[in-house]
Structure 1
Amino acid sequence: MGYRRYMRMAKTEMLRKEIQIYKTILNSIHEGIIITDPSGYVVFYNQELAVLEGLNRDDVIGKHLSEIYSQAPDTSEHLLVSRTSKPIGETYQKYFTRQGHEVHLVATTVPVLQNGELLAVYSLCRETTHLREVLLRTMQLQEIKEDSVEVGKKQGVQYPRAYFTFSDIISKSKAMETVINGAKRAMMGAANILIYGETGTGKELLVQSIHNGGPRRSHPFVAINCSAIPENLLETMLFGAVKGAYTGAIPTAGLFEYADEGTLYLDEINSMSIGLQAKLLRALQERNYRKVGSVAEIPLHCRIISSINIDPVTCLEKKCLREDLFYRLSVISLTLPPLRERKEDIPLLTDYFIKKHSPKNSLEKLELAQELVQGFQDYRWAGNIRELENAIESMICMSGDELCLTREHLPSYLKQLMERGLMDVLRGKNLALLSPFLMDTENIIVTDALKKHRGNLSHAAKELGILRQSLQYRIKKFGIEVEQFRR
């Protein structure tokens, strides 16, 4: 065998193996992939897309797209990219296969070019069934407990509703008392409210309490997490869409319309894209909005309450929240303190969660071991109330028939963190000097910032990287006389 022939055979074998590796990888990922040649004939179709579309891979490979899908050439994103060689970003698509199977996908379609020549076109697809279910559950199918507040009704339709009230907030801390008092004053108005709180601090509990305590209580309450929905789908969910707005679009009522004269809660609004923030800003300024694909103006009646889990100064500095939108949303601003700043509430919340998650048929009361009482007080609870509840629920599950929840029942990660940072507390040693030291240090830092900025709270808060309200809370806590720095 000649050397050249041998090399050609070796290269062919290497290419065959390389192609097989690529096929194996593309068939193992959780996104659907379809690749066509420049004419629209399928050269690759992975298993994930076969499952999503209900088709057999062997029946798809080698066929033209028009033989597989009931789409006209001018409405197929894939064929459009074949004609224009221009990519189409992530878009929602609804279409039918030739077998009549309805498909809902979010797809990105990209041309493969070499020196300006089109070699192939591929689409990367994700299923949206769960997102559509979220939308339907949010807008139509949300079921609430029997003992919740009055149901808002209009034309015989049962709307989603809020079921928490201020009486459900468990707290005796001064910090939470200030927040609740502010929320109660704000609930009677119509101004937009922005709530800042770390993850797990109970932002939606406060929002529902505001809704249920105000004049909109008999109208819909709709909540949506802006970080959980793709941008193009989120726009349709908020504004609604008209038929033909995009491929497969059907008339859709958005959350603005669905909330009507009730409350729309936009959670983690700092996760919303800047482009969509601009559209939201216009709707809030004009108190009118347009459905996707429409030029008709629709009045905006609902009250907007939004929340962020990153402090406003950071949001604005990192430009994840438009400054003009921030001022429009924060006509009234409230700050939920983290659990580490309301430690007097930890025993109350611990008792509540133990009762909540105890077996219903249990006649004897579960309790927290004394060795953990101080440990719970000193732990920082990065996940706040949600982390505390999850820890209690886990401990109860792991305790079996035991009536005392001990360190051995802690989730493994929490046990390691406590043993690493609070070993002396768990061993019963006295670390009473630590808390005063930390408070003294915090007092010095706050005082220095106020002194540097001559008592200007806004400038001092910005330097410290905290909210103005948080600074005021610390000034009150430490008894600092601000006037002395303004002389």
Structure 2
Amino acid sequence: MIIRKFKNIDIDYVDGILIVDNTGKIVHSVRYNPRFNENAKEKEYRDFINKNYLEAYPGLEAEESTIINCLKDGVPIYKKNQVFCDYEGRVYNTQNLTIPIIRRGKVLGAIELSKDITSIQDLSEAFENVESVKAGTTGDISKKNIASVKYSFEDIITKNDEMLENIEKAKLIADSPSSILVYGETGTGKELFVQSIHNYSSRRNRPFIAQNCAALPENLFESILFGSVKGSFTGAMDKQGLFEIANGGTLFLDEINSMSMNLQAKLLRVLQDGVVRRIGDSKDRKVDVRVISAMNMDPMEAINKRYIREDIFYRLSVMSIKLVPLRKRKEDILLLVRYFLKKYNTLLKRYVKRISKEVETLFFVYHWPGNIRELQHVIEGAMNIVKDGIIEMKHLPVYLSETAENIYFYDEEEVTQPLNDVIEVIEKKMIIKALEKAGGNVSKAAKFLDIPRQTLQYKIIKYNILIE
């Protein structure tokens, strides 16, 4: 019936399905197109869940969005092409069939079926706009300025010794022209550190250009990095690349391990000689650019798996900073909780004072695979349903509540004991369970718990745990 409503519909297959509720919150998102699967890991798609649609796709205006209009009008919408970018800067041009979910006359949400029709020309034309969205500016990309760099070292919330050492190290190397590699798990604050380094350096009033290496295909990325001359390929125009635009300032290449080996070899020449040559040109151009790169995996692992060339790794990591995952900086959890409570009390006009003791204990024993970003989303989600008072277990996401069910908690009287005592009891219980699951194999149990084998051996002795 819906298909008959649109006589000119031309979607012979779909490679994306998106479902939102009536507030625009994404409840399901999946893409089958290899263009996205190659570079976008499953973890990134999980980041979409529970985000507002316009937050996940900041390059899309509400009045242009088929999803938002479908929710507003409660009627199916077919659009032949919709060009936009996601929060990682990936460019899309899609054909969409958007269908409202209606029950008893009330719009409960919407389902969007989409077909990726993105062409190289679409990506090239959208690039300047995408970069402006990411920078928080509008207009020509070459007019970006310091206003797009909002973080400084004062924004890094920590009392962890290793992280404090990282901050001091970053300050010392901020004015060096040498390349820096910042690495750590997803959500540990890599761009926060990178922007802080730029803001602390003498280049602070010069351009800061950020590009996610996973966001663009290789055949476009080369022209984006190095520029092009008219006629060098179909649709090519005389255009500066990112190195020329960043001249005198900082170029931040995020997820550098997603860049193709072929393009890494070309990047190496620029890093070594300080000159770029636009595609189709015979002229070399001298550039003065401080390159900072980032990756969300251990560099040695990236080299072994051939995600990054060994020669370019050593060139990019003249100086390196390893960020500590949240599970290894537990002393920062309450600091961050207080910060996010204050932030979202202001944004959401709430009066939430604190988290409950039970939630606090869970936060200390949970492993936080999404790190600080995950903690932020948990607090934000809870504060959307709590107006004042205390965040309780019932306010947390379902997956965290299920985690809590597998952890031993004291009763109300016992939970008033010192927090460290409570944590030790829970930690011992988790170690025993891991050892049982591993059949007494300490190495396997350490992997289950995501801690070093030596650390587990120490804790086994500390808690006097017998291995059967």
TM-score by length of 2: 0.63
Aligned letter for 2:189? G
Q: Which aligned pairs between 1:289-328 and structure 2 lie closer than 5 A?
A: 289-328=276-315
Cα deviations by residue, 1:65-96 (Å, 9 ceiling, x for unpaired) = xxxxxxxxxxxxxxxxxxxxxxxxxxxxxxxx
Mapped contact 2:352–2:383 kept (Cα < 8 A): no
Give 1:412's aligned residue.
Answer: 398
Q: Which aligned pairs between 1:377-396 and structure 2 lie closer than 5 A?
A: 377-396=364-383
Structure 1 stretches lacking a partner, 5+ long? 1-22, 33-48, 55-102, 106-123, 146-152, 440-463, 465-469, 479-487
Post-superposition offset of 1:437: 9.7
Cα deviations by residue, 1:409-450 (Å, 9 ceiling, x for unpaired) = 101122222323x243698674514648999xxxxxxxxxxx
Give 2:47's aligned residue.
Answer: none
Post-superposition offset of 1:26: 2.8
The one of 114, 118, 133 equivalent to 1:126 is 118
Percentage of matched positions with identical amino acids:
38
Question: Is 1:51 the counterpart of 2:70 in the alignment?
Answer: no
Mapped contact 1:201–1:338 kept (Cα < 8 A): yes
Distance 1:373 1:130, change over 3 A: farther
Give 1:179's aligned residue.
Answer: 166
Give 2:25's aligned residue.
Answer: none
Mapped contact 2:188–2:373 kept (Cα < 8 A): yes
Q: Which aligned pairs between 1:26-425 and structure 2 lie closer than 5 A?
A: 26-29=12-15, 51-52=80-81, 125-127=117-119, 129=122, 132-138=125-131, 142-143=135-136, 157-159=143-145, 161-360=148-347, 362=349, 364-399=351-386, 401-420=387-406, 422-424=407-409
Structure 2 stretches lacking a partner, 5+ long? 1-8, 17-31, 34-77, 84-91, 95-115, 416-421, 432-446, 460-468
Cα deviations by residue, 1:77-134 (Å, 9 ceiling, x for unpaired) = xxxxxxxxxxxxxxxxxxxxxxxxxx989xxxxxxxxxxxxxxxxxx94256577545
Stretch deviating more after TM superposition (160-169 or 257-266): 160-169
Aligned residues: 332
Mapped contact 1:375–1:426 kept (Cα < 8 A): no
Cα deviations by residue, 1:303-327 (Å, 9 ceiling, x for unpaired) = 0000110101110110100000000
Mapped contact 2:151–2:196 kept (Cα < 8 A): yes
Post-superposition offset of 1:267: 0.5
Aligned letter for 1:136? N
TM-score by length of 1: 0.61
Distance 1:237 1:141, change over 3 A: same
RMSD: 3.8
Stretch deviating more after TM superposition (430-439 or 409-418): 430-439
Distance 1:256 1:140, change over 3 A: farther
Aligned letter for 1:371? E
Looking at structure 1, the residues matched to 269 and 283 of structure 2 have their Cα atoms a distance apart, in angstroms, of: 14
Distance 1:389 1:144, change over 3 A: farther
Post-superposition offset of 1:198: 0.4
Distance 1:393 1:50, change over 3 A: closer
Post-superposition offset of 1:51: 2.1
Looking at structure 1, the residues matched to 231 and 206 of structure 2 have their Cα atoms a distance apart, in angstroms, of: 31
Give 2:464's aligned residue.
Answer: none
Looking at structure 1, the residues matched to 411 and 165 of structure 2 have their Cα atoms a distance apart, in angstroms, of: 33
Post-superposition offset of 1:236: 1.4
Mapped contact 1:238–1:256 kept (Cα < 8 A): yes
Cα deviations by residue, 1:359-405 (Å, 9 ceiling, x for unpaired) = 55847443111211111111111000000000000000122x34211
Distance 1:191 1:415, change over 3 A: same
Post-superposition offset of 1:338: 0.3
Mapped contact 2:207–2:249 kept (Cα < 8 A): yes
Distance 1:318 1:363, change over 3 A: closer
Aligned letter for 1:331? V
Looking at structure 2, the residues matched to 326 and 258 of structure 1 have their Cα atoms a distance apart, in angstroms, of: 24
Task: For residue 189 of structure 1, give the secondary structure of its aligned residue in structure 2.
Answer: coil
Task: For residue 366 of structure 1, give the secondary structure of its aligned residue in structure 2.
Answer: strand
Mapped contact 1:199–1:309 kept (Cα < 8 A): yes
Mapped contact 1:374–1:425 kept (Cα < 8 A): no
Mapped contact 1:200–1:385 kept (Cα < 8 A): yes
Post-superposition offset of 1:53: 10
Looking at structure 2, the residues matched to 345 and 259 of structure 1 have their Cα atoms a distance apart, in angstroms, of: 35
Task: For residue 358 of structure 1, give the secondary structure of its aligned residue in structure 2.
Answer: helix
Looking at structure 2, the residues matched to 141 and 385 of structure 1 have their Cα atoms a distance apart, in angstroms, of: 21
Post-superposition offset of 1:245: 1.2
Distance 1:104 1:246, change over 3 A: farther
Post-superposition offset of 1:168: 0.8
Distance 1:195 1:438, change over 3 A: farther
Post-superposition offset of 1:221: 0.5
